Each structure stands twice: as C-alpha cells, then as structure tokens.
Amino acid sequence: MPQKPGPTTGLPHLIAATGYSLAGLGRLWREASFRQEVFAGGAGLLILLISGAAIQSVAIFVMLLMALLAVEAMNTAIEVIVDHLSPEWSEFGKQAKDIGSAAVLLMIGVNTIWFLVALTEVWFAGKFQII
C-alpha cells in the first residue's frame, strides 16, 4: 500500500497543490458531461464574443462557466466516493448522486439564463447581427 505523503508548506506546497489540481482536471476530462459542458461553454463564449456582448457580460459568463465546472467536479467526486463506499446499488448512493446531479442542473440553468440575458442585451442594443 502506498504511503501517504507528508505535509508541505510554502513553495513546495504550492507546487504539490498545483499538481493535484492538474491531476483532478485530467480525471475530470474523462467524464463525458465535463467535456460537454466545456464545449458548450466554449461555444456560448464564442457566440457572446462574436455578437459583441459587453465585456462585463462575457466576464460574468466565464465566471459562471467556471462555477458550473467546479460543481461538476464536486458531483464527480461524490460519484467516485459513493461508488467506492457502495459498489452495489443502494438508496443512499442513488440519493447522493441524484442530489449532486441536481446541483449541476441548477448551475446549467444559471449559465443558460445569463447567456440569454447577455444576448438580449446585445439584441436590444442593436449590435446583434446574424453572420
């Protein structure tokens, strides 16, 4: 069994934490839902940029997309833990996964609403043009 690494501080801690985060992103990339959210968010960002949306609206969209991806990361972590603790089907496992999924769905709703608000602002400002 591998030994747990000891605690670090300062620059070594920052380097180790960055490595852990990059490993987490690599693990997330294997999730189809994460990739779909990245691509959909990228498409939404491109549409906002091409349509001439205000920089503040674009910045808020990017922050909301990052929040969505963070919630997706937490949902994936919940699923990994549940699958480890309860390899067979269980009611608690189903509920935990369903609640995590609901959190992701709510964030998708928030992102969608903001995207539509930003496009509406462009539309009413008269800058919206179909290419």
Active site residues: 72
CB-CB contact of 48 with 125 (8 Å):
no
What are the tokens at 18?
């960055």
Distance CA(86)–CA(130), nearest Å, equals 51
Tokens 């990994």, residue? Answer: 80
Distance CA(69)–CA(28), nearest Å, equals 9
CA separation, residue 17 to residues 22, 33, 80, 107 (Å): 9, 25, 20, 26
What are the tokens at 63?
């922050």
